[in-house]
Amino acid sequence: MDKPGNLVFSDYATFRFFRAEILIFFGIVIPGFIVVLVSTEASAKDLALPAAIFGGIGLVLVGIFVVAAWAYRISEKYQINHMFAGEIWECWQFSAKEWESQVESVCNLISPRDDGENPSSGVISSSIIGVAFVFIMDIIVFFAVKDPMIKKSLWIVSGVIFLLFVGVGIFQPMVAKNEVDRYRRKALRFSEPRVWFGPDGVYHEALGHTSLKELHKVTDQTKSRNRIQFTLIISSPDSDDIVRFPTPVPSGCEEQAGRLVSRYRSLLTRS
């Protein structure tokens, strides 16, 4: 089977250091210490320990994102090579005009409500992260800072940080727009992409690899949205996450799509 020369990785394997939490940390916490230093009688020595602790936390967060991205990228590369070393069921190709139309239709559908998710989930998750972050900060300030005025100023800074975390969730529509633009840029790097289907994965020349080892359901949506949707359940010690991967169907491949769905469903019944 004709394997692509340059591999494309999924968004999960892409380095994305500029997460909202990291930006808040470096954009607010460190300047917050500077504001306290300038606006109070605190000396650099008084704030040295808290600043060092939070600087270390920031470096650890960045390190975690780097290691996780590299680990996922290595794992995904192995899965892609394993997929092409095995059986390939189908290989489809889109025309340039059709692919551009498909990308725009997907962009119009990208929204939390469309995928059945709770629109307030972003606010909730950001608030939880904010509470945890502020709690850690307040504990450090309580034990490491002795001056009452400095403590009060740092606690005000921690309250502002919490509100910013909440704001990250409130501005989910802006985040969704950014996701749409990012998807469009990535998808249109290939004018006539191909997509390969195998028993344990799907590789899209523009969008990357999707492992189907946790496949829960496959839905034929060629009549309504001209796509196949794979539903995966990613299990963790705490919960089971439902993730959906829609795959567009090129014109003329509707019958093959139906047979492909039946083939994947037969795998599910056997397992």
- The pLDDT of residue 194 is 94
- The pLDDT of residue 89 is 94
231, 242 contact by CB (below 8 A):
yes
Average pLDDT for runs of 10 along the chain of length 271: 77 53 60 65 68 72 76 88 92 93 78 48 72 81 79 79 74 69 86 93 91 91 88 74 86 92 90 65
Q: Which helix (H) or strand (E) holds 155?
A: helix 148-170
Phi, then psi, of 243 in degrees rounded to 5: -125, 135
The DSSP secondary structure of 34-85, one letter per residue, reads: HHHHHHSS--HHHHHHHHHHHHHHHHHHHHHHHHHHHHHHHHHHHHHHHHHH
239, 190 contact by CB (below 8 A):
no
- The pLDDT of residue 162 is 80
- The pLDDT of residue 80 is 92
Three-class DSSP category at 95: coil
Q: Please tell me the distance from the alpha carbon of residue 226 to that of residue 247, in angstroms, as a whole number.
A: 9
Encoding tokens for residue 254?
């509707």
- The pLDDT of residue 42 is 65
- The pLDDT of residue 64 is 78
Q: What is the radius of gyration, based on Cα positions, of the chain? A: 24
- The pLDDT of residue 169 is 66
- The pLDDT of residue 56 is 74
